[in-house]
Chains A and B, each alone.
Chain A
Amino acid sequence: MSAEAPALPAPTSRGSSLAGRFGDWLRNPWGKPRALVAWTWLYMAWSIVPVLIAVRIGFNTGRSRSTFQGFGLRWYTQDPELSVFHDESLFQALVHSLQLAGWVMVVATPIGVALALGLARWRGRGSGPANFLMLFPLVTPEIVMGVSLFLVFDNLYKAVPFGRPWLPWSAMTLGLVTFSISYVVIVVRGRLFAIGKEYEEAAMDLGASPAQALFRVLFPLLLPAIFAAAMIVFAITIDDFVISAFLCVEDCVTVPIKIYSTARLAPSPALNALATLMLVASLGAITLAVLVQRRFIRKRETAEHSAVEDFARLEI
């Protein structure tokens, strides 16, 4: 729906002062609400500009963490000791983050897709509680999940090693998979509801077995959503702090943990450079997800909404 609905003739005489404009808007809420426009753009600036400034500081050629200096890649590659690629602790944090996000994506996506299929189609006894169980990790405060996972690995699953994000069976990987499964389910299940059951039923009427209907008909239709889910898991994991921090004991510093422990004392803008690399990774993953969704799903269903709007709904 377009916003410029039945505009009444705009009163011109009062539109000069700020109070007058507000009065105009009260009299005619379908007209242009200038105060709202200003407020919204102010908010957007407040929300985004600090991050842009932090990114720009990472490109400083000097040592200041608070003021713009010359523009260059000193803190990414050039400084022989303190740049991200030469300071072992910063580079390790980047590697750990990527390893962790990669493993969590590889483990959580198939489990989540299977769970989404099961929960969307299973109607018998037990499906209600199963659905509730799936939603629970989404509403649990992260600190509670972090503490509970730490305690269970510390006291019960003692064979699972803490830290070591390069192992697919480390406490960090397992904990973040637990946190991510529900996101995969939400994304894939939403797509399953949109596809409906007709394709599978048609395939089976034409003689396909249930397995054939699943793998040759439903699975290709689901592929864009599965890809999007994998990318979302990657982005969530690479940005995650609380659960990672609780399950990291040694040799496991990821980028968010590094930011937490050194933001106040960092000696140079190299930390900003590191944070920027992570920002690129996670925004890149999400952009890929949106583009793929848009390319393969748009055709008939979502003529009215843009892909971005679908994405806005998906988060809730």
Chain B
Amino acid sequence: MPSGELGVVGQRRWYWPVFAAPGLLWLVLLFLLPFYAIAAVAMGGLDPIFGQPEPAWLPTAWDPETLGNILKSFTGNPAAGMVPLQPVFIRTIEYVFTATALCMVMGYPVAYYIARHAGKRRVLLLVLLIAPFWMSYLMRMLAWVNLLLEDGYVNKLFTFLNILPAPRNWLAGDSVTVVLGLAYGYIPFFILPMYAALDRIDKSQLEASRDLGASPAKTFLRVTLPLSKQGILAGTVIIMLPMFGDYYTPDLLSGSPNTSMIGNMINRFIHTRAGGPTGASITLMLSMFVAVLMLYYLFSVARAAREARQ
């Protein structure tokens, strides 16, 4: 048999692509095309009679007016009748960065301990660490709604310890509640890649650093920390991506427009017929804004897959 015709395990060249075909077709029709639909709706118009979105499927028919209005609103001078998006945008960035910083500060020591010192307890700790992955995010937020109610255990504890003079209403437009809720929701997704990165560090490098006279603090700062940089980056990207699109955490833990994030705006517009192009435009802006994070994540996952293959 001529070798050019043979695939990996001796089959013909088309043999394996045929297996991939249904899945790839599915992803083209229900992932790539829908992505394009965002652009088509964002740059399309509204039906003059029914007020429904009328997508512009061909790039030649694209009308960037709505997108331009959204961009103006983002940069601080909204056109007449357009919601001012800049405060929401700034608030989203503040929330996401604060919550991410909290995740790092709280999560790094946990990952460090499990990777380096847990010993016999490692399996138990990993089970506890992974358990929240398989609980619905909404269930975990419901738990906090229960705890933060006016007569809930948080108020009881805080008034008992005299931290608060009287029960506080945590669930009415409180930025602190929302940011802590975000941190609570996403921190497991930061710790796991962080753990994987710290676990990969070769212990002999730490011993070498100690043997060559570096203090433990210096060893941590000059060896462990730089070697875990990939993990910090991966964990940060993994939690920032969904956080930028979050709308259910503020809805459940505050419900006030004072804590609205970009996701709340998208959710609000997309479900009203006439808001279609506006919602799609904001989604497009958000996608462009997080594209860098997505590409970084994509390339690092692809790299990991290539390494696993070898």
Seen from chain A, the residues whose Cβ lies within 8 Å of a Cβ on chain B are 1-5, 25-29, 32-33, 36-37, 39-40, 43-44, 46-48, 50-51, 53-54, 57, 64-67, 111-112, 114-115, 117-124, 126-127, 130-145, 147-152, 154-156, 174-175, 177-178, 181, 185, 189-190, 193, 197, 200-201, 204, 210, 213, 235, 238-239, 241-242, 246, 255-256, 259-260, 263-264, 271-272, 275, 278-279, 282-283, 286, 306, 308-309, 311-313, 315-316
Our pick among B24, B106, B267, B301 for the contact of A43 (Cβ within 8 Å) is B106
Closest residue of B by beta carbon distance from A289? B134
Q: Scan residues 148-171 of chain B and give those whose CB is less than 8 A from a CB of chain A.
A: 149-153, 171
Residues of A with C-beta under 8 A to B270:
147, 150-151, 246
Closest residue of B by beta carbon distance from A122? B16
Q: Is B82 an interface residue (CB 8 A)?
A: no
Knowing A260-B251, A311-B130, say if A151 contacts B17 (CB, 8 Å). Answer: no
Closest residue of A by beta carbon distance from B111? A40
Are the C-beta atoms of A271 and B151 separated by less than 8 Å? no
Interface residues of B toward A: which range?
35 or more
Q: Scan residues 120-154 of chain B and give those whose CB is less than 8 A from a CB of chain A.
A: 122-123, 125-147, 149-153
Most buried by A among B26, B38, B298: B26
User: Whole-angstrom distance between the alpha carbons of A308 and B106 in the complex?
Assistant: 23
User: Whole-angstrom distance between the alpha carbons of A163 and B150 in the complex?
Assistant: 35
Instruction: Report B27-43 CB contacts with A as 1/0, cut-off 8 Å.
Output: 11011111101101100
Knowing A29-B220, A308-B126, say if A260 contacts B138 (CB, 8 Å). Answer: yes
Are the C-beta atoms of B17 and A118 separated by less than 8 Å? yes
User: Whole-angstrom distance between the alpha carbons of A67 and B147 in the complex?
Assistant: 9
Are the C-beta atoms of A312 and B31 separated by less than 8 Å? no
Q: Is B242 an interface residue (CB 8 A)?
A: yes
Residues of B with C-beta under 8 A to A239:
134-137, 139
Knowing A36-B109, A111-B23, say if A147 contacts B143 (CB, 8 Å). Answer: no
Leading 8 A-B pairs by shortest Cβ distance? A118-B20, A115-B23, A143-B245, A118-B19, A148-B34, A54-B143, A122-B16, A152-B34
Closest residue of A by beta carbon distance from B270? A147
Knowing A118-B20, A181-B23, say if A40 contacts B110 (CB, 8 Å). Answer: yes
Residues of B with C-beta under 8 A to A143:
245-247, 263, 266-267, 283, 286
User: Whole-angstrom distance between the alpha carbons of A4 and B203 in the complex?
Assistant: 12
Most buried by A among B24, B134, B196: B134
Are the C-beta atoms of B20 and A114 separated by less than 8 Å? yes
